[in-house]
Structure 1
Amino acid sequence: MPEVARSFDGPRARVRAYAKLNLWLRILGTRPDGYHEIETVFSTVSLGDDVEAILTTEPGVRVEMRAADGLVGVLPSGTDNTLTMAARHLDDRTGAGRPTLVRVIKRIAIGAGLAGGSADAAGALVALGDLWDTGLSRSELAEIGLKVGMDVPYCLTGGTALATARGERLTPLAARGAMWFVLGMARYPLYSKAVYDTWDRLEATSGPRVGPMVDALEAGDVRVVASLLHNDLERAALAMRPGLAADKQRLLDAGALGASLSGSGPTIFGLAADEAHAASIAEAVAGDFAAVVVVASLPRSIEPLG
């Protein structure tokens, strides 16, 4: 948990909350509760938002967001954001809420398929849980996070994991070694509900089984991993935004070992052999996307900051 610092502004807790990629995503069907039953492999990557919670004298929980240099897209407005929701649910559970300002430096684009909103909610739960001295464990925070979004429980733990059910049932995977990726960022977002609705209308069929991907990750064979990248939602995202097919091909033409859509998109990522290879790919496609970012896989999704 982050250490609570004390300053003239009041006690505070600060964390970095990292993005995720979907190396694999298979849709098994629609559940009676309206959600989709999925099977996906998440990987935390080194693009993160800074979330800082500070005790204040003003009532309630206020959120201030600032875009980092190079952020693509727009920031959430008003109180309709995952941080405010996370704070409210945490207070409902514990009754520990105190007047707090939550400051966020956004580097993860909204509506990009990178779980930027879920990462922020997870970061807020960790920082506020510590600042408010709730004493809740990560598993208890995950129960609260599930009320905010299906990806939030994963974003509280991170690493490489197989997620099933609605995405909340997590099995850690023993991925061997760091992987390097190039993210091709689009200027305009795609939102999960719209992409899933399109998938339903297309009556798309589900892809192959996840077993070979799990084996490749545990063996640390990046070339096999690259050959197995898969996302059932890619067909739906391409139907909504046909230009994504050319974006994917640009990464492959630049030398990526494999490429895929992350989540519901529109971010397309390429898998590289190593850091130098990733840098070379990024340079080659720099003019083809709204932004290009080189990231590495990480073993955790929340990092305490001093």
Structure 2
Amino acid sequence: MLVWEKAPAKINLSLDVLYKRPDGYHEVEMVMTMVDLADRLEMHELTRDTIILSSQAGYIPLDEKNLAFQAAKLIKEHYGVEKGVYIHLDKKIPVAAGLAGGSSDAAATLRGLNRLWKLGASQEELMKLGARLGSDIPFCIAGGTAVARGRGEQLTRISAPPQCWVVLAKPPINVSTSDVYGRLRAAEIPKHPDTDAVLEAIRNGDFQSLCGSLGNVLEDVTLSLYPEVERLKDVMLKLGAEGVLMSGSGPTVFGLVAKQKKAERIYNGLRGFCKEVYAVRMLV
């Protein structure tokens, strides 16, 4: 039996850090949604009790450093599965980009192996399992649009944002999420994003208000380390994107665009600025 799963990228429409918790994590409040840029995973069962991961991408680890591999190992151990699996990962989402590519791959692995091995696990059970590996994985399992709190694993589903085009651009640098959070001084954040305004814009289907409410407290940290991210934001705004923000800890910058022709113009304009550029739709 062969199963396949799509692993879409996520973007943060709002990312706020409230304080640093006693357990070392940061208490966050984020509005996240998914876009139609996705990896694809194919899985088939092996009689030998082993995990084999392959990919056409030569720049990702194919062992226990890979979150998809870790997810396969975890679900096998948790449910006592003594069979093996071969997983092929067709990688499209840029790595270390603030788009939760690795987390989405892990989520797709958990969903796919649940089906392949007929484990009967509920979505909630898979989300709890995924939270052991990473804070974004529960959201990536559930999909859609959500407010994430706690360390990112406490989710409240909300309606989809107004449909629009999303232009994504990743400069040729990789950013460490743990490094960015490590440099963040939560008690000294000068201005917090207006999460309520983002939620109200989504409720009202108000695209312009949504564009005007975007915010990410990690931007100041990443922009101070990588000025090219700020330059990329400026270029995207000058090209006419209605709302521009860095996603996650970066370095990917996204622009929300109402019209397809403008999205195509911005896409073409950015192609001269950096190599990894995508024009996609929000997933509803």
Q: How do residues 187-266 of structure 1 correspond to structure 2 at under 5 angstroms?
A: 187-200=172-185, 203-266=188-251
Give the partner amino acid of 1:241. Answer: Y
User: In 2, are the aligned partners of 1:89 and 1:147 still within 8 Å (CA)?
Assistant: no
Task: Determine which of 1, 11, 33 is the counterpart of 2:23.
Answer: 33
Cα drift, residue 76 of structure 1: 2.6
Distance across 2 between alignment mates of 1:81 and 1:134: 23
2:138 match: 153
Question: Could you say what secondary structure the match of 1:156 adopts?
Answer: helix
Q: CA deviation at 1:284?
A: 1.7
Give the partner amino acid of 1:99: G
Paired position in structure 2 for 1:21: 11
Q: Give the SS at the match of 1:79.
A: coil
Matched residue SS, 1:281: helix
> In the alignment, does 2:46 pair up with 1:56?
yes
State the percentage of identical aligned residues: 36
- Per-residue CA deviation, residues 54-101 of structure 1 (Å, 9 max, x unaligned), is 11244311111223xxxxx93234331101111121122211241110
Partner of 2:111 in structure 1?
Answer: 126
Kindly indicate whether the alpha-carbon contact (under 8 Å) linking 1:257 and 1:272 is maintained by their aligned counterparts in 2: yes
CA distance in 2 between counterparts of 1:209 and 1:260 reads 14
1:114 paired to 2:99: yes
Checking the alignment, whether the CA contact within 8 Å between 2:13 and 2:30 is kept in structure 1 is yes
* Rounded Cα–Cα distance in structure 2 between residues aligned with 1:205 and 1:86: 38
> SS state of the match for residue 269, structure 1?
strand
- Give the TM-score normalised by the residue count of structure 2: 0.95
Q: Is the 8 A contact 1:16 1:49 kept in 2?
A: yes
SS of equivalent to 1:39: strand
- Aligned counterparts of 2:267 and 2:159: Cα–Cα separation in 1: 28
Using the TM superposition, give the Cα deviation of residue 235 of structure 1 relative to its aligned residue in structure 2, in angstroms.
0.3
Give, in angstroms, the shift of residue 201 of structure 1.
8.8
CA offsets, 1:196-218, max 9 Å, x none?
Answer: 11213994345143111101012
Q: Which amino acid aligns with 1:185?
A: K
Q: Find the residue that maps to 1:288 and give its secondary structure.
A: coil
Distance 2:48 2:171 in 1: 38
Instruction: Name the structure with the higher helix share.
Output: 2
Query: How many matched pairs?
Result: 284
**What residue in structure 1 maps to residue 123 of structure 2?**
138
For residues 260 and 77 of structure 1, do their structure 2 counterparts lie closer, same or farther at Cα, with a shift above 3 Å needed? Answer: same
**Does 2:171 correspond to 1:171?**
no
Partner Cα separation in structure 2 for residue 143 and residue 232 of structure 1: 27
1:97–1:124: structure 2 CA closer, same or farther, 3 Å change rule?
A: farther
Instruction: Note the residue ranges of structure 2 that are not aligned, 5 or more in a row.
Output: none
Return the alpha-carbon distance in structure 1 between the equivalents of residues 187 and 197 of structure 2.
27
How far the C-alpha of 1:236 sits from its partner, in A, is: 0.5
**Distance in 1 separating the partners of 2:220 and 2:103:** 24
- Which amino acid is the alignment partner of residue 33 of structure 2? S
Letter in 1 for 2:265: S
Partner Cα distance (1:50, 1:100) in 2: 16
Residue identity opposite 1:292 in structure 2? V
TM-score normalised to structure 1 length: 0.89
